[in-house]
Chain A
Amino acid sequence: MPDDQPHEPRWRRYLRFWRPDSAADVSDELRFHLESRAAENLAAGMSAAEARRAAVERFGNVHHVERSLASLTRERETIERRVAWRQVIRQDLRYAVRQLARSPAFTAVAVLTLALGIGANTAIFSAVYSVLLRPLPYAHADRLVDLREGTGQGDWGMNVTMGNYDVWRRRSPQFTALGAYTYAAFTLTGAGAPQRLLGLSVSADYWRALYIPPLVGRYFSAAEDQPGAPNVVVLSYALWSTAFASDRHIVGQTITLSGTPYTVVGVAPAAYALRSNAPELWVPLALTPAQRAEHTDHELTVVGLLREGVAIPDAVRELSAVEHQLAHDYPKAGIDGSIVVHSLRDSVVGAVRPLMLVLFGAVGLVLFIACGNVMNLLLARAAARRKEVAIRSALGAGRKRLVAQLLIESVLLAGLGGVVGVAVAAAGLRALIRLSPPGVPRLFDATLNGPVLLFAAVVALACGIFFGVLPALRATRLNLQQSLREGSRDSTLVVRGSLRAALVVGEVALALVLLVGAGLLVRSAIALQHVNPGFEPHGLLIAGVALPQARYPTDSVRAAGFERIIESIEAVPGVASVALVSRLPIDARGMDCAVWREGMDTNEGSGVDANARSATGNYFATMRTPLLLGRTFTSADVTGAAPVVVINQSLAHWLFGNQNPVGRRIAQCPSGTPKWMQVVGVIGDMHASGLDAPPPNEVYYPLGGLGGSGMSVVIRTALPPASLAPAVRRAVAGVDAELPLSGVATMEEVIARSMATPHFTTTLLVLLGLTGLALAAVGIYGVIAYFVSQRAHEIGVRMALGASRSGVSLMVLRQGLALAGAGVAIGLVASAAATRALAGMIYGVSARDPVTFLAVSGVLVLVAALASLVPAHRATRLDPLEALRGG
Chain B
Amino acid sequence: MGSASVGLLQGTLDVIVLKTLSWGPMHGFGIARWIQQTTDDALRVEEGSLYPALYRMENRGWVRSQWRITDNHRRAKYYSLTAAGRRQLEAQRTSWSAFSLAMARIMDATRQPA
Task: Give chain A's interface residues, CB within 8 Å of chain B.
Answer: 25, 28-30, 32-33, 36-37, 40, 58-62, 64-65, 68-69, 72-73, 75-76, 79
Contacts and interface: CB of A to CB of B under 8 A. Distances in A.
B59 A32 contact: no
Contact of A72 (B27, B28, B59, B74): B59
B55 A69 contact: yes
A29 B28 contact: yes
A61 B48 contact: yes
Contact of A62 (B48, B56, B74, B77): B48
A36 B77 contact: no
B64 to A, nearest CB: 11
A721 B40 CA distance: 108
B90 interface: no
Contacts of A61: 48
A37 B33 CA distance: 9
Contact of B47 (A37, A64, A69): A37
Interface string B67-97: 1000000111100000000000000000000
Contact of A28 (B29, B33, B75): B75
Interface in B49-64: 49, 51-52, 55-56, 58-59
B59 A59 contact: no
A36 B29 contact: yes
Contact of B27 (A32, A62, A64, A65): A32
**Most chain B C-beta atoms within 10 Å of own C-beta, residue among A28, A33, A65, A76:** A33
A43 to B, nearest CB: 13
Contact of B77 (A25, A40, A58, A65): A25
Contacts of A68: 52
3 cross-chain pairs, A with B, having the tightest CB-CB distances, nearest first: A60-B48, A72-B55, A65-B48
B58 A33 contact: no
Nearest to B77: A29
Contacts of B28: 29, 32-33
A763 B48 CA distance: 77
Contacts of A75: 59
Contacts of B55: 69, 72-73, 76
A33 B75 contact: no
A76 B67 CA distance: 17
Contacts of B32: 33, 37
A29 B51 contact: yes
Interface residues of B, number: 20
Interface string B15-49: 00000000000011100110000000000001111
A59 B49 CA distance: 8
**Most chain B C-beta atoms within 10 Å of own C-beta, residue among A62, A68, A73, A75:** A68
A285 B11 CA distance: 72
Given A25-B77, A28-B75, A79-B59, A33 B52 contact: no
Given A32-B28, A58-B47, 8 more contacts: A25-B67, A32-B29, A37-B29, A59-B46, A60-B49, A61-B48, A65-B52, A72-B59
Contacts of A62: 48
Contacts of B74: 32
A69 B52 contact: yes
Contacts of A32: 27-29, 74-77
A183 B48 CA distance: 83
A30 B77 CA distance: 10
26 contacts: A25-B67, A28-B77, A29-B51, A29-B76, A32-B74, A32-B75, A32-B76, A32-B77, A33-B27, A33-B32, A33-B47, A33-B51, A36-B29, A37-B47, A40-B33, A58-B46, A59-B47, A60-B47, A65-B49, A65-B51, A68-B52, A69-B51, A75-B59, A76-B55, A76-B58, A79-B59
B16 to A, nearest CB: 16
A352 B75 CA distance: 76
Contacts of A76: 55, 58-59
Contacts of B46: 58-60
Nearest to A39: B72
A72 B52 contact: yes
Contacts of B52: 65, 68-69, 72
